[in-house]
């Protein structure tokens, strides 16, 4: 009889060609998808060439996305993208995204069906862990690890221990997956899951739509996790069945009953209110009612954390018939061209424009302080993004608060941090 394993162990074992892998074990694993962007891929491409490689291991499984400084904000970023573009053309990559076909990478791969349940995905971007929402093992790596994977389709990994998070109860109004992950990070700290897998389970998770699951998996790295993961279920299958580009089987993608966990945390989220991460850490989390009087200069709705259609729909519910407060810059960035089109067809963009918002093309943009929303000294922003470190969105003397789309939209209307119930 085989030893019990968590879903993370099972995926890693399968990709290492083993029946069982133990936490702490070093493995050489086959990679399904290797991902790079316009910041990290040029370094990987240089390393690829430095070792004398001529061809990537599989032109359908190396994915390059130009999203961080796109549209190119300056000469340096244009050169970065040029390097990636030329390499993609040289290698005849199937999945290269640039220009009008450019998407925020961690919204792109799931939407395009490039990642499917059971995959092992590595990406030279820390928020690659987003794909754990699909029941995949997905983790960020350095550009040299990406280069090695581009050459041979393999990666060295240490099998992580798992922490099981069980969410009981039914979420209240305006409370989302973003609030669950912020609350969790606030509880365990930004190093609370260092090199461990965060496994999300429980009745509240079972009822969670995919957009919220993506938000939670996306921010697992903010607790130091190697990966975040959900066992695929009917919600997952409904999302991937008409998207998945490759066959997949979820029958063994669950944690065995007697799996060993480093820690099990159980939360009753029935009375949870919207959460806000205050400067300057994703772990400095407070319930909305305890944030106090905070005046804002900018509100940003978008990013790989909360730029999906469902996020924009929530923001539109709050903003409809209202306007951003005088002096507040409201920036809304749909995460993909498809989301942009759907938001336009549903009349969401008209609502945003009437509210006085600037609607940007799909890009990471202000999230990393790239462009399209940089903060000046002393300015304060609230954002649906995933990090609020010192200088993350601009000047080191600016401040960023993290919240869900409803709270961010409501705050734009009042000019201070608040929830929709305050309107």
Q: State mean pLDDT over 314-337.
A: 98
Q: State mean pLDDT over 46-73.
A: 96
Same domain for 235 and 352, yes or no, is: no
Same domain for 223 and 298, yes or no, is: no
Same domain for 233 and 358, yes or no, is: no
Write the pLDDT tens digit of every residue in 246-259.
Answer: 999 999 999 999 99
Domain boundary among 216, 237, 267: 267
Question: Is residue 2 in a domain?
Answer: no
Domain boundary among 219, 243, 267: 267
Give 27's strand partners. 157
Same domain for 251 and 155, yes or no, is: yes
Same domain for 279 and 242, yes or no, is: no
Please list, in sequence order, all residues whose beta carbon lies within 8 angstroms of the beta carbon of residue 212, skipping any fewer than 6 positions away.
Answer: 176, 177, 178, 180, 310
With contact defined as beta carbons under 8 Å apart, do 139 and 106 qualify? no
Q: State mean pLDDT over 62-77.
A: 94
pLDDT band at 2 (very low <50, low <70, confident <90, very high): confident
82, with CB counted inside 10 A (0-12, 13-18, 19+), is middle
Same domain for 280 and 249, yes or no, is: no
Same domain for 262 and 306, yes or no, is: no
| Count of the separate structural domains present in the chain | 2
Q: State mean pLDDT over 25-33.
A: 98
pLDDT band at 277 (very low <50, low <70, confident <90, very high): very high
Predicted local distance difference test score (pLDDT) of residue 394:
96
Question: Is residue 286 in a domain?
Answer: yes
Question: CA-CA distance, 48 to 61, in Å (whole number)?
Answer: 16
Record the tokens describing residue 339, joined without a space. Answer: 């989301």
Cis bond leading into 71, ω under 30°?
yes
Question: CA-CA distance, 188 to 292, in Å (whole number)?
Answer: 23
Record the tokens describing residue 405, joined without a space. Answer: 């789309």
Average pLDDT value for the chain: 97
Write the pLDDT tens digit of every residue in 357-407.
Answer: 999 999 999 999 999 999 999 999 999 999 999 999 999 999 999 999 999
Domain residues for the domain of 393 are 275-422
Domain boundary among 223, 247, 267: 267
pLDDT band at 224 (very low <50, low <70, confident <90, very high): very high
Question: Is residue 1 in a domain?
Answer: no
Record the tokens describing residue 108, joined without a space. Answer: 């792109």
Q: State mean pLDDT over 273-292.
A: 98
Tokens 């690829």 correspond to 48
With contact defined as beta carbons under 8 Å apart, do 23 and 160 qualify? yes
Same domain for 251 and 323, yes or no, is: no
Same domain for 291 and 199, yes or no, is: no
Predicted local distance difference test score (pLDDT) of residue 126:
97
Predicted local distance difference test score (pLDDT) of residue 1:
60
Asked whether residue 132 carries a pLDDT value surpassing 90, the answer given is yes
Predicted local distance difference test score (pLDDT) of residue 135:
98
Same domain for 291 and 251, yes or no, is: no
Asked whether residue 171 carries a pLDDT value surpassing 70, the answer given is yes
Same domain for 21 and 105, yes or no, is: yes
Write the pLDDT tens digit of every residue in 77-107.
Answer: 999 999 999 999 999 999 999 988 878 999 9
Q: State percent of the chain over pLDDT 90.
A: 97
Predicted local distance difference test score (pLDDT) of residue 103:
86
| Total-model pTM | 0.97
Question: Is residue 46 in a domain?
Answer: yes
Predicted local distance difference test score (pLDDT) of residue 289:
98
Predicted local distance difference test score (pLDDT) of residue 213:
98
Give 400's strand partners. 381
Same domain for 121 and 193, yes or no, is: yes
CATH code at 110?
A: 3.30.499.10
């Amino acid at each position: 009889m085989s030893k019990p394993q968590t879903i993370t162990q099972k995926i890693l074992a399968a990709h290492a060609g083993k029946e069982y892998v133990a936490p702490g074990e070093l493995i050489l694993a086959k990679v399904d998808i290797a991902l790079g962007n316009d910041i990290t891929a040029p370094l990987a491409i240089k390393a690829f060439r430095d070792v004398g490689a001529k061809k990537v291991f599989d032109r359908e499984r190396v994915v390059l996305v130009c999203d961080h400084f796109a549209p190119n904000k300056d000469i340096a970023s244009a050169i970065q993208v040029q390097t990636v573009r030329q390499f993609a053309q040289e290698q005849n990559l199937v999945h290269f995204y640039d220009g009008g076909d450019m998407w925020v990478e961690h919204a792109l791969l799931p939407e395009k069906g490039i990642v499917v349940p059971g995959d092992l995905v590595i990406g030279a971007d820390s928020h690659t862990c987003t794909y754990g929402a699909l029941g995949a093992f997905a983790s960020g790596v350095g550009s040299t690890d990406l280069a090695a994977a581009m050459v041979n389709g393999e990666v060295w990994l240490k099998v992580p221990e798992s922490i099981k998070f069980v969410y009981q109860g039914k979420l209240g109004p305006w409370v989302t997956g973003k609030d669950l992950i912020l609350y969790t990070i606030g509880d365990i700290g930004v190093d609370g899951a260092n090199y461990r897998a965060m496994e999300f389970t429980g009745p509240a998770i079972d009822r969670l739509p995919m957009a919220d699951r993506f938000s939670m998996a996306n921010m697992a790295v903010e607790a130091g996790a190697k990966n975040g993961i959900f066992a695929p279920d009917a919600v997952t299958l409904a999302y991937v069945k008409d998207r998945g580009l490759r066959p997949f089987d979820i029958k063994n993608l669950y944690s065995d009953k007697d799996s060993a966990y480093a820690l099990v945390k159980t939360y009753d989220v029935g009375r949870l209110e919207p959460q806000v991460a205050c400067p300057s850490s994703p772990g400095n989390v407070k319930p909305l009612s305890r944030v106090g009087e905070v005046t804002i200069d900018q509100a940003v709705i978008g990013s790989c954390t909360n730029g999906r259609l469902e996020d924009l729909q929530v923001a539109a519910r709050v903003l409809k018939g209202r306007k951003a407060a005088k002096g507040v810059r409201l920036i809304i960035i749909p995460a993909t061209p498809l989301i942009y089109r759907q938001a336009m067809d549903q009349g969401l963009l008209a609502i945003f424009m009437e509210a006085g918002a600037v609607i940007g093309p799909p890009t990471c943009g202000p999230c990393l302080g790239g462009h399209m929303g940089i903060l000046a000294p002393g300015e304060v922003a609230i954002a649906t993004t995933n990090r609020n470190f010192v200088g993350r969105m601009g000047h080191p003397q600016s401040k960023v608060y993290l919240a869900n789309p409803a709270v961010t939209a409501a705050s734009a209307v009042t000019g201070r941090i608040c929830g929709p119930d305050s309107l």
